[in-house]
Amino acid sequence: MTVEHPPRPEPLPSEVGTAADSPFAGLAPLERESYEFLFRFVSGTAQAADLRALEEWSAQSPARRDAFARACQAWEALDPASSLVDSRRARSHSHLVSRRVAIAGGLAASAAGIALAVRPPMALWPSWAELTADVRTSAGEQRSVALGDHASVTLNTRTSVAIRPSPEQIGRIELVSGEAEVSVARSDGRPVEVAAADGRVSASDAVFNIRRRHTDHVYVTCLSGTIQVECRERTVTLRADQQVEYAPDRLGEVRAADAAAVSAWRDGVIVFHATPVAEVVEELNRYRPGRIILVNSALGQRLFSARFRVENVDAAIIQLAEVFNARATRLPGGVVVLS
């Protein structure tokens, strides 16, 4: 007779070899263990036993719960660093570089700077590029920025934009992360360019929405006027109510788009229409502090349709659990494990 035992969680990085082997070796023991637990979940290797292990670990003392909460909220603790950048003042390229160097120096002196030295796993905290962007919004925040007298950009939640000086005096910005609506009205016909990942959008008289996912897939939707989208040495033209997606290896085909649904965030509404749950979770994570962690890959492929107000985004978690008979486990620091 063979007795099957439940799988034992893989050891934490600090349990293998020495603590110096951990990517978070510079942190204090409780902080290091907290980040390692989080890393296990967001890396996609977590099992039910890992969730039990985290619950047991955090239940042993308030200090552990507090440490885990601090790890989950590390990106918010770094928000003051990004606010040092005043995007409303005109600045030269050298000034931008010097400000970024100053911010980077401040981060390097902090414990969280250790974790930011590499690409954050599953966007748990802002990347180095996001933190050193010129304009940045936090969870649930929107912000509008004028680009001279010919263009403006409205940033959605958790969005970072860099202003790129141009010797040709052509407006150039880079969408580092997140989503933005760009409005352009140049009387001289010269375009404004918006770069994102491996492509760029140019327009001289148009309004368009551009969203960059953490996978570097970019979605561009023309809301009015005409725009050009270039990627991989190909260019397509979009007119109102048309959309195109591009990725590091391709530029997709132009298709019809529901412009009202795409731009609903401007009115504080999130719209899902037959959207895979994995993408729903990614979207919800942009609007709330903490993190929703999906550990059920089959659930991630299910399709979900709903509308939510931004201020009531946690209702989506409850509805997901009810609709798909899933388990939503709430942990310190605003973390929810959906299984």
Per-residue model confidence (pLDDT) at position 124: 52
pTM exceeding the 0.85 threshold for the entire prediction: no
Question: With left for phi above 0 and alpha for psi between -120 and 50, is residue 168 left, alpha or beta?
Answer: alpha
- 257 and 283 assigned to the same domain: no
Per-residue model confidence (pLDDT) at position 331: 76
Per-residue model confidence (pLDDT) at position 96: 37
Domain-located, residue 31: yes
CB-based contact 121:45 (threshold 8 Å): no
- 184 and 253 assigned to the same domain: yes
Per-residue model confidence (pLDDT) at position 66: 78
Question: Which tokens in the block code for residue 7?
Answer: 């799988």
Residue range 237-289, pLDDT digits in tens? 999 999 999 998 899 999 999 999 999 999 999 999 999 999 999 899 899 88
pLDDT in tens, the chain (339 residues): 443 334 444 444 444 334 455 556 667 788 888 777 777 765 555 666 777 787 788 778 888 877 777 776 663 444 433 333 333 333 333 333 333 333 334 433 444 444 433 345 445 555 555 656 688 888 889 999 988 778 899 999 999 998 876 655 566 889 998 999 999 998 777 889 999 999 999 999 999 999 998 778 999 999 999 999 999 889 999 999 999 999 988 999 999 999 999 999 999 999 999 999 999 998 998 998 878 888 788 899 999 999 999 988 889 999 999 999 998 888 776 788 888
Domain-located, residue 283: yes
Q: How many CB atoms lie within 10 A of CB 39?
A: 22
User: Phi, psi at residue 285, to the nearest 5°?
Assistant: -65, -20
Q: How many CB atoms lie within 10 A of CB 136?
A: 26
Per-residue model confidence (pLDDT) at position 129: 59
Domain-located, residue 245: yes
- 248 and 324 assigned to the same domain: no
Domain-located, residue 5: no
- 318 and 249 assigned to the same domain: no
Domain boundary among 43, 72, 101: 72
Cα radius of gyration rounded to whole Å, the chain: 22
Domain boundary among 233, 263, 293: 263
Sheet with 291-294, strands from edge to edge, namely 291-294, 335-338, 328-331
- 161 and 202 assigned to the same domain: yes
Per-residue model confidence (pLDDT) at position 120: 52
Q: How many separate domains does the chain show?
A: 3
Hey, which residues does 323 pair with through a beta bridge?
Answer: none
Domain boundary among 48, 72, 96: 72
- 177 and 142 assigned to the same domain: yes
- 195 and 259 assigned to the same domain: yes
Domain-located, residue 108: no
3-class secondary-structure state, position 319: helix
Q: How far is CA 259 from CA 207, 210, 279, 300, 339, in A?
A: 11, 12, 19, 25, 33
Hey, which residues does 71 pair with through a beta bridge?
Answer: none
Strands (E), the chain: 135-136, 143-147, 151-155, 160-163, 172-185, 192-196, 199-203, 205-212, 218-231, 234-239, 242-247, 250-251, 255-256, 269-276, 291-294, 303-309, 328-331, 335-338
**Shortest CA distance to 215 belongs to which of 196, 201, 192?**
196
- 160 and 45 assigned to the same domain: no
The rounded distance, in Å, linking the Cα atoms of 47 and 202 is 45
Domain-located, residue 64: yes
Which domain covers residue 29, as residue numbers?
13-72
